């Protein structure tokens, strides 16, 4: 049976003013203007027996309460899904105010129940629309490298995954594309911190949709990864255009080499692991003395993370399978070393990996493989700061990345 694919989208942009998420600023950030709208975009795929759904949202991240509320709203509408993957693009210029814990106020702004409800209804509506829009489709997948379009901000010799992936979906109403790349969408927040925007993922989606089709952007393994950042560009519009055009050129290359998705069945699986908040280590093991000196700060960080994530946060790893194609979602700001390991595990299982998506379904901190934490902070203020910051945000210890890989392996075997 030919696969059927449906699409849906919802404008989530709240009325001004609203809190912005992603950057810690004394007194918080509040949007004073909207550069471009923020969306939830969904794709549902059905093989005649099962329906799975991917929803990509212009938000900083997901957390468990938001995900569960969205699932309940979809179920209440009578939509039955085999699996649902909710993932955030991680734009740092999106609404905050939807995570109500003492610590997350620092990153999200003050909680607003009306804003939480607005997001739940809008995200669910996109998935419900997609599930009701199913039409026969032909699917093809392509990928290519995008050298120099992202870089490891922890260490100049750190891992990087510069893969650009494209899923082409041809229906009777035109061509739709789902694309994935791994880099932090922080261009607008750095240049214009009081402006709401979907950042460069939004630019990619609008450009690919200009021919009458539709598009969805999925953020890949972006933990510790920045987009192209030339020193001579100091304007948000010029910077966005530069990244957009460079990525579009690589997307076209990936499309040119696309091959049909093999198989006409879909499936989904989620493997949940219960973690525990630990006292973070800020430095490599051989610098234990510095971690000892920093113990008061580390104990404060442990309390801070417990007040944000709880004592034992859940870490769901979700897999969507479309024929021989895998979309995997991880509940973290996930490093490219974990993404590359996920790519190898997926290939060994006989599948092709479309995306190892960060910020999916929940959030448990920054996650890298153990070797990344053993790289010492290097020269350069930015590199050193990001290394120590991300080590501090490894809320559940340094083995979570390896655990993610094993969870993926188990999900693929189901």
Number of domains in the chain: 1
Answer whether residue 288 is part of any domain. Answer: no
- Please count the CA atoms within 13 angstroms of the CA of 147 that sit on its side-chain side: 0
Parallel, antiparallel or unpaired: strands 138-145 and 259-260: antiparallel
pLDDT digits over 220-255, tens only? 999 999 999 998 888 999 999 999 999 999 999 999
DSSP state, 287?
A: G
Of all residues in the chain, what percent carry a pLDDT higher than 70?
Answer: 99
How far, in Å, CA of 223 to CA of 228, rounded?
Answer: 15
- Asked if residues 126 and 55 have their Cβ atoms less than 8 Å apart, the reply is yes
What is the per-residue pLDDT for 1? 62
Answer whether residue 302 is part of any domain. Answer: no
Burial letters for 131-155: b for 16+ Cβ neighbours within 10 Å, e otherwise?
bebbeebebbbbbbebeebbbbbbb
Parallel, antiparallel or unpaired: strands 314-322 and 333-334: unpaired
Q: Give residue for tokens 């650009």.
A: 164
Q: Is 168 helix (H, G, I), strand (E, B) or coil?
A: strand
Q: Distance from first CA to last CA of the chain, Å, rounded?
A: 22
Answer whether residue 294 is part of any domain. Answer: no
What is the per-residue pLDDT for 281? 97
In the sheet that holds 214-219, the strands lie side by side as 214-219, 174-181, 163-171, 138-145, 259-260
Let me know how many helices (H) and strands (E) the chain has, helices first. 12, 20
What is the per-residue pLDDT for 289? 97
Answer whether residue 53 is part of any domain. Answer: yes
What is the per-residue pLDDT for 25? 75
Answer whether residue 110 is part of any domain. Answer: yes
What is the per-residue pLDDT for 380? 67
How far, in Å, CA of 165 to CA of 180, rounded?
Answer: 5
> Could you please report the per-residue DSSP string of 129-140?
HHHT--EE-EEE
Structure tokens at 39: 């969306």
pLDDT digits over 308-335, tens only? 999 999 999 999 999 999 999 999 999 9
Give phi and psi for 404, each to the nearest 5.
Answer: -55, -45
Residue-number span of the structural domain to which 255 is assigned:
4-273+308-413
Answer whether residue 11 is part of any domain. Answer: yes
Q: Is 34 helix (H, G, I), strand (E, B) or coil?
A: strand
Answer whether residue 301 is part of any domain. Answer: no
For the chain, residues with pLDDT lower than 50 are none
What's the residue count for the chain?
A: 414
DSSP state, 14?
A: P
Q: Is 36 helix (H, G, I), strand (E, B) or coil?
A: coil
Q: Is the Cα torsion angle 181, 184, 186, 190 positive or negative in sign? A: negative
Answer whether residue 283 is part of any domain. Answer: no
């Amino acid at each position: 049976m030919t696969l059927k694919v449906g699409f849906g989208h919802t404008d989530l942009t709240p009325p001004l003013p609203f809190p912005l998420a992603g950057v810690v600023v004394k007194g918080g950030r509040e949007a004073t203007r909207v550069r471009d709208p923020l969306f939830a975009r969904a794709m549902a795929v059905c093989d005649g027996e099962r329906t799975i759904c991917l929803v990509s949202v212009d938000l900083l991240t997901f957390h468990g309460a938001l995900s569960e509320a969205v699932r309940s709203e979809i179920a209440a509408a009578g939509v039955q899904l085999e699996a649902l993957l909710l993932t955030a693009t991680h734009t740092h210029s999106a609404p905050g105010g939807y995570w109500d814990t003492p610590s997350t106020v620092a990153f999200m702004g003050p909680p607003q129940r009306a804003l939480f409800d607005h997001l739940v209804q809008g995200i669910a509506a996109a998935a419900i629309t997609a599930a009701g829009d199913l039409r026969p489709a032909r699917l093809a997948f392509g990928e290519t490298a995008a050298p120099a379009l992202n870089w490891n901000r922890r260490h100049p010799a750190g891992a990087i995954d510069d893969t650009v992936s494209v899923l082409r979906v041809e229906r009777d109403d035109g061509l739709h594309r789902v694309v994935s790349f791994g880099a932090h969408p922080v261009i607008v927040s750095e240049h214009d911190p009081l402006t709401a925007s979907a950042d460069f993922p939004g630019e990619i989606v609008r450009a690919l949709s200009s021919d009458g089709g539709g598009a969805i952007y999925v953020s890949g393994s972006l933990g510790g990864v920045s987009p192209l950042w030339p020193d001579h560009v100091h304007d948000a519009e010029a910077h966005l255009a530069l990244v957009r055009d460079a990525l579009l050129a690589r997307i076209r290359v990936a499309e040119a080499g696309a091959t049909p998705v093999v198989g006409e069945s879909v499936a989904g699986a989620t493997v949940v692991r219960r973690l525990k908040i630990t006292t973070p280590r800020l430095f490599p093991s051989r610098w234990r003395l510095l971690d000892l000196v920093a113990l008061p700060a580390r104990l404060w960080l442990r309390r801070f993370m417990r007040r944000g994530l709880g004592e034992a946060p859940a870490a769901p790893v979700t897999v969507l399978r479309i024929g021989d194609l895998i979309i995997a979602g991880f509940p973290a700001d996930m490093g490219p070393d974990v993404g590359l390991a996920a790519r190898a595990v997926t290939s060994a299982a006989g599948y092709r990996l479309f995306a190892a998506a960060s910020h999916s379904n929940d959030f448990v901190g920054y996650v890298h493989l153990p070797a990344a934490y053993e790289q010492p902070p290097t020269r350069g203020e930015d590199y050193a700061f990001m290394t120590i910051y991300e080590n501090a945000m490894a809320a559940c210890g340094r083995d979570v990345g390896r655990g993610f890989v094993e969870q993926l392996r188990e999900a693929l075997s189901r």
